[in-house]
Amino acid sequence: MMRHAIQWLRSLVFIFQMYVMLALIGFGFVPLIWFNKKYAMVAIHAYCRWVRWTASWMIGLRSEIRGEPPTDEVIIGAKHQSFFDIILIASALPAPKYIMKKQLVWAPVIGIYAKYTNSIPVDRGKRGQAIKQMVEAVRSSPTPGQLVIFPQGTRVAAGAKKPYKVGTGVLYRETGQPCVPASTNVGVFWKRHGIMRYPGLAVVEFHPRIEPGLELAEFMERLEDVVENGSNDLMQEAGLKVELW
């Protein structure tokens, strides 16, 4: 009981400093971004390194990137379990930009950097319109980069099941870009809700890319198979008993 309480307190302190540093780094780099937008990525990478470093010694949560992170213009179809997988993915990519829910545009700091990285806000309640908006925004994006989309549309608890949405497949088909699947196990240690963070090894793994040319149904099947099987393997490695699909 005492050990659990200490870990909870450590988690609370970690979360507090994490958001303090989000404000300090985020707002601190804004004057530089006004002169050159490249500093947006400098700030993002600095913050991601900070969170990963402090997580390793404050709460005992180490992190690792496996596979080959892409550096060209691709779509990344990633498993999303908590805020920490966003941090790990962004830390590994040279120019990440995200498909994000529209409400985050108004979030302090996050909204500013969404704008400067050309991330794409969508209204998830309007599915058909959102897909059309995503495709148009990607085609008209002024800067290349790695477009991260979460095929299940939201955070999914470790071990839980949720269907894949067709938006990733439509982007793959309409843009003609390859797609890099990405798996994770971060939800085992960093839950969607609550304060408690658990020690262990959180992993994001980039898999071989799916080249353009597949039919929509075939692409979606392959993406789901790679991401889910990869995530299940990582979660089992972390000690979670996973019910296979």
Q: Domain ranges in the chain?
A: 62-237
Whether the per-residue pLDDT at 127 is higher than 90: the answer is no
pLDDT of residue 129: 67
Whose tokens are 């090894």? That residue is: 201
The answer to pTM > 0.95 is no
* Confidence class for position 37, pLDDT limits 50, 70, 90: confident
pLDDT per residue over 59-72, tens digit each? 999 999 999 999 99
Architecture of domain 62-237: 3-Layer(aba) Sandwich (3.40)
User: How many residues does the structure list for the chain?
Assistant: 245
| Mean per-residue pLDDT over the chain, rounded | 90
DSSP SS3 for 195: coil
